[in-house]
Every structure is written in structure tokens, then in C-alpha cells.
Structure 1
Amino acid sequence: MPGSERRIRMLGAVATVILLRHARSTANGTGTLAGRSPGVGLDESGRAQAAGLLDRLAQVPLRAVLASPLQRCVETVTGLATARSLPVETDEGLSEVDYGEWTGRRLEELAEQPQWRVVQQHPSAAVFPGGEGLAQVQARAVAAVRGHDTRLSSEYGPETVWLVCTHGDVIKGVLADALGLHLDGFQRIVVEPCSLSVVRYTETRPFVLRINDTGADLSGLIPSGEDGSASGAAVVGGASGR
């Protein structure tokens, strides 16, 4: 058995994934649902946010950078990946929700639709006309994230840190799964443009380390084992003292 795989089995831990929402796009703030519309890139503010990732993540040793294939996600991480001499791997499983007939329509108009209330209050039952259901989105995104996490852990070891750039609702679905939260509660999670959320998976449970982090100090997410998550054990009695 290779050394890295032996360590994973001994410690019961796998890698740490940074879930990055794409930086501000030309569609953010326009009041329309961009969805998978082509040609939606970053605006000036978004380009500045993306450039800032180099400093924000300077102390974090990334092994891989993955992204939704949509332009705004690839643009967000291209500079970071280039600086680390890493390719940007894309995966359809990380793509934006297929909003079907709602794509490109104004949000104020969609808010008048009967389905809007279902999306807000009972998202596990929400299926967009001609598109996906939110439960389907969560299932494919969680499968993609967990699959890459296992692959990268096997290749590089359980202290691997990797990053995936995707979309707000996709990240909220992954976080709801990691928190053991029913999908109907995922609208309580806020994920802003260019925010970072961090999950460390183990054989027994995921550990959610950050949610919607827009700050600069990310050194605390580097795996150390001091929080107990390397063994799959949760901290008892409060914080770890760091």
C-alpha cells in the first residue's frame, strides 16, 4: 500500500477543500438570473477580487485548482493557478444550476412565479421549469467534491489542501450536506462573491472550518491535526485554543 494511502487509513482523514464562489460578475447586481448563459465574465470589481486571491491564499499550500466550466469561475482562478504553476481543471459536476426557462429572466419577475416560494421555503422540492431540481444539483456537486477530495488525498496525502471555484447555490448545497443540514435549510447559508468556505472530510464526518469568509487571514485552515479532525474526532469542551 502506498505511503499516502496508508496514512489516510491510519488517521481516518482526507483532504481540505476550499469552496470559492466566483468573484463579482457582470451579471451580479443586474437583477437577472444569469445561470448558464454564455459570456458572463468578471466585472472590474470582480477582477480586483480575483487578483486579491494571490495574497489571501499566499500562505496556503494548494495542490490543485478546480472550477466550474463557466467563464466567471475560470476567470476567477486563472491568475491564482498560474502563480502556483497549476492547471485549472474543470468539471461539469461543479457547474451552475441549470435554471432552464428561468435563465436570463429578471428576478423581480421570477419572484411573482408560484415556484419562487418553493425555491425559498422548500428547495428540496424545487425543480426549475426545463432545468434541474435543487436536490439534483446538491447530489451531483457533493459527488464531484467528495470524489476529487478522495482522489487528491490518495495522490498527495491527508494534509492536502485544494480549491474549487463554483457558484453560490452549488456551494450552499455542499455546505448543507457537510453540516448535516436538510436541503430545505440551505437558504439560511450566505455565500458572497469571492468568499471562501472550507470543509475537511474524514471517514466519520465532515468538519466545516469556514463559511462565507471574505477576510485575508486564512492561515488557520492549514491542516495541523490539533483540532482533532485528523482522527475524525470532534473537539469536546469548546475551542482548540488556537
Structure 2
Amino acid sequence: MATVILLRHARSTANGAAVLAGRQPGVALDDTGVEQAATLPGRLAEVPLAALVTSPLERCQQTLQPLAAARGLTPVVEPELAEVDYGDWTGKALKELVDEPLWRVVQQHPSAAVFPAGEGLAAVQARAVAALRAQDARISAEHGPDSVWVACSHGDVIKAVLADALGAHLDSFQRIVVDPCSVSVVRYTETRPFVLRINDNGGDLSGLVPPKPSSDGAQEGADAARTGESDAVIGGTTGTA
């Protein structure tokens, strides 16, 4: 299967104001976010990208604009990668929410959290993982199993996806940090996902590209996490050259 770069949107006006934006329309990138998005073509310069997929919300599509223009790719909108529907919590300041009884559930038992007039975090994880796997299968079929693609989504959505990929219970997802415009990387295989990066804020990403087959058909540098094999490397990965 292909390799997916999970990109959280760059910093938004709601992030800067400590407001829970949710699916509220009109939430764009702030000046810092615009600068963060502008760095993406350079950060991913060494990574061949087969496709861009995005949440329908403005801040995600705005984040991908510089990268899409640089690569000549048109992002595909995936509704199931949209932000959590926070229901009645949408648009409220975080300092107003910390005293809500549900806040403690969201922090300590998120698998049981259902936002008033919104959706539950368990449902968010289910829809996002299913959508990513479906898009990954499509892109693998169209561009080959060694292709790399970007999915731009939201903090809680990406954290839930990473918890699933790590085989961790959703109740542990609050231990995962995903900053604005950070990348986390997952490679799905037939039997398990491999998590290659979490919350990367600017490192060398060229090592995400799967190695090319050698003349005898074997993969250069036998690293199962990058060749698509489902078995893990015993003793740890050999790294990149």
C-alpha cells in the first residue's frame, strides 16, 4: 500500500484565539499559518507526491494551496476527514469549556465522549480511518504501492488516526501531540500499519520515499516499514542512507 503523510492544517485564527473552531465556516489561516503553509513545498521537495487529499474546511484547503501550486496537483476533497463536529461546543473559548463535566471525559475517557448536539470521538476515529484506508487503496491502485500522498486534516482527527495505527486505545489519544502544520506518516500494509513519523515540524522527509528495487528485484535496505511488507524488522530499522 501507499504511504500517507498526515498533515495538520497550519495555524488558524481560531488556534491563535484559543477557540474551538470545529466546523464553523470562515476560519482561515492567520499570518503565522500562511507562513507555515508557504514552507511546505520546500519541506516536501524531495518527496514525490502522487495525490493531495483534504478536509473540506477552508483552513485545510488554504494550507495545501502552496503545495498544490508547486506540484500541479488538484486536492481531492474527502468529507470524512473534516474536523470533529463539536456541536454546542463549537465556537466557544477553551477557557469556558474546562469547567464543563464533559471536559474531564474528553481528557480521561475520550472513547466515551459525545459532544452535545455533535458527534462522538469514537465515531470520528472510525470514519477517518475508513476514509484514509479507502483513499490509500485508490491511490495505490492508480499510482502503485510505493506512492506517497498527503492528507490534510485536523488535530483531533489525526490523533485518533495515529492511535489506531499504533494499536493504542482511543483513550490514549490525548497522549499524542500534533502541532499546526506538522506531519505524521503512516504506511498501511495488509496486516498492520507502520507509523514512520509523528508531529514532525520540519525534519528531512526524503527518507519516507520507499526504496527502489535493485537489479535482482530485492528492495535496497530491507526495511519492512518502507517496502510494504507486513513483518516488522527484528532489531530495528536500518535507517536511510
After TM superposition, list the pairs within 5 Å mapping 1:86-101 onto structure 2.
86-101=73-88
Structure 2 unaligned residues grouped into runs of 5+: 212-218
Structure 1 match to 2:8: 21
Q: 1:116 aligns with which of 103, 107, 129?
A: 103
CA distance in 1, matches of 2:169, 2:203: 31
Structure 2 match to 1:235: 233
Q: How many pairs does the alignment contain?
A: 229
- What amino acid is the match of 1:240? T
Alpha-carbon distance, 1:83 to partner: 1.3
After TM superposition, list the pairs within 5 Å mapping 1:208-227 onto structure 2.
208-224=195-211, 226-227=222-223
TM-score normalised by structure 2 residue count: 0.93
Structure 1 match to 2:94: 107
Residues 45-90 of structure 1: CA distance to partner in whole angstroms, max 9, x if unpaired? 1011001001000010000001100000000001111211110111
Query: Does residue 182 of structure 2 align to residue 186 of structure 1?
Result: no
Alpha-carbon distance, 1:241 to partner: 4.2
Alpha-carbon distance, 1:91 to partner: 1.1
CA distance in 2, matches of 1:29, 1:78: 21
Structure 2 match to 1:130: 117
Higher relative contact order (CA 8 A, sep 6+): 1
CA distance in 2, matches of 1:16, 1:115: 36
Structure 1 unaligned residues grouped into runs of 5+: 1-13
CA distance in 1, matches of 2:69, 2:236: 39
Structure 2 match to 1:206: 193
SS of equivalent to 2:72: coil
CA distance in 2, matches of 1:241, 1:111: 43
Which runs of at least 4 in structure 1 moved beyond 3 Å after TM superposition? Answer: none
Deviates more, 1:221-230 or 1:200-209: 221-230
Alpha-carbon distance, 1:109 to partner: 1.1
Q: 1:38 aligns with which of 14, 20, 25?
A: 25
Structure 2 match to 1:83: 70
Structure 2 match to 1:163: 150
